[in-house]
Structure 1
């Protein structure tokens, strides 16, 4: 076979490979958009602009402050196994999905937007769950409106002393995109899983693998979440270092895995020590997604919210 023929075949294979990747990318993004469109999301007007929310279930109301790269859809997914007999309300935080990204916003502003949702729904008091980067807004809500927060649960939370973004925001604006994140997911899945907080050694079985795959896919499409993710990385997460946790006056439960590679367990333990009466539930494994810990988390959270 001549050199020219070999070069032609290699070039053809490369083109075919790129073509197949483009087809898969489009299929994956279409599937992600379909999942998002299947979630019944509502929008209210507020002084911060549109605020989107989704809800499910019946029972005692719980407001969920979702984590980074999520939104109302991902928030519902994150607490699906935790809150099985409650009315769950999940606003999309600033810059996520259908919620506005106000200029010079703060987590305190986000707490005020939460109040706007509660007022619209006629909810005078709720339990609150803050997840990961949603910790700041959940804590601000409890600090500013203790009469409206019955219990505060922080799951895989960002506490003072946790790591914050080091790269310039401009880099994040490029990286937090569907093409970049999709390529990472497809070509370097262990790295992508690590970015989402999965520790080494996971998944440990089919159930873990299923939950992990679902959670990793849940961040797509990235596009309508990107502004919120940048806001979380460079504003919401660093802000919590200045919060007066010792002034919290609502019953607080912190659930955190000791092997969480994203949010420091040591920082969570130190945060728990600063909050009067707070209880720390230490999970021996499971990482940021608390893989394999669903039963224990559900039991602990249910007992706490019923107390």
Structure 2
């Protein structure tokens, strides 16, 4: 064998070995993620169909409605990061996520009826409702359709209707690749991109990668934890598909009577600020907080968000005043 042929053979063996190691690592990690996703929630059989949920902690009941790419696990993480402790967190997996199937009508209105039925099933007469991103849609519908169930409404980077500038996704080349991976339900594509080019996924999740790179280590870890929380992608794809093709229309927001706070960021790459401003202008007495930076994951603003939320809940008489600014 020539020297060139030997070199090429060695390179081929090295590449094959590296690919084999990567595949084994992927299979092991995917197996652990699938196991965690299948074990963490309970399933309630309701009139709208089975709804998976987690029920964690003690204190005032709080319904945590996750955004696109989520599930009950993301709902729990959202409360831990952005709201704080001392709540009984009820976190459902919305239609198409994890073990909650897609019903014939997966609209936010029907999802809201499912939220209300779940609260009734758990003997929770009223809860603080947190809707994050696409989860804000069924949170608003719940507040309109079942106002007696909602003690307060918290909308964070809400992917709601705006008459002037709709929620959208940046059409950059990297985002198109990430969108392809999502639409293909590509577990390996998402996993490999997270390992090789995480900035592609960070941008796809609505945050400028440079903002994350300049953030403290704790915030960088939180963002990457969120990136990994989308895995296994194939267990969330049906829900992502629903969230990606919404038929948004104007709702009678002026009928909402629950105390409301809405939070967004000017540099959210999903453009949720116009929707947040529109909702705040329609909901009577709604409080609007807008950060100049933070993106869709509110990078660098977590403590401020938590303080604002707890102060809001204290002013509504739902937690002690001394607990309002707690971090």
The two structures have a TM-score, normalised by structure 1, of 0.91
Task: Find out whether 1:284 has 2:295 as its counterpart.
Answer: no
Matched, 1:196 2:205: yes
Per-residue deviation, 1:65: 1.0
Determine helix, strand or coil for the equivalent of 1:239: coil
Larger relative contact order (CA 8 Å, sep ≥ 6): 1
Residues in 1 aligned to 2:298 and 2:211: alpha-carbon distance in whole angstroms = 13
> 1:172 and 1:219, CA in 2 relative to 1: closer, same or farther beyond 3 A?
closer
Aligned position for 1:106: 107
Where in structure 1 are there 5+ consecutive unaligned residues? none
Aligned to 2:321: none
Please state whether the residue corresponding to 1:43 is helix, strand or coil.
Answer: strand
Tell me how far apart the structure 2 counterparts of residues 249 and 162 of structure 1 sit (CA, whole Å).
25
Distance in 2 separating the partners of 1:247 and 1:299: 27
Give CA-to-partner distance per residue, 1:153-193, whole Å, 9 cap, x none: 001111222116998xx957643331221122223211111
Contact 1:197/1:262 (<8 A) preserved: yes
Match of 1:250 in 2: 258
TM-aligned CA deviation for residue 152 of structure 1: 0.5
Q: Secondary structure at the match of 2:191?
A: helix
How many residue pairs match? The answer is 301
User: Could you tell me which residue of structure 1 aligns to residue 191 of structure 2?
Assistant: 182
- Distance, in Å, in 1 between the alignment partners of 2:272 and 2:263 is 12
- Distance across 2 between alignment mates of 1:48 and 1:171: 31
1:265 CA drift (Å): 1.8
TM-score (norm 2): 0.85
Equivalent-residue separation in structure 1 for 2:170 and 2:45 (angstroms):
31
1:128 aligns with 2:129: yes
CA shift for structure 1 position 245? 2.5
Contact 1:176 1:229 in 2 (8 A): no
- CA 1:111/1:272 → structure 2, altered by over 3 Å: closer, same or farther? same
Q: Secondary structure at the match of 2:257?
A: coil
- Alignment partner, residue 21 of structure 1: 22
Is 1:231 aligned to 2:242, yes or no? yes
Q: Secondary structure at the match of 1:123?
A: coil
1:163 is aligned to 168
Change (3 A) 1:107 1:165: farther
Aligned to 2:139: 138
Q: Give ranges in structure 2 of 5+ residues lacking alignment.
A: 317-327
For the pair 1:293 / 2:301, whether they are aligned, the reply is yes
Root mean square deviation of aligned Cα: 2.1
Mapped partners of 1:66, 1:29: distance in 2: 22
1:212 is matched with which residue: 199, 202, 223?
A: 223
Q: 1:50 to 1:139 in 2, by over 3 A?
A: same
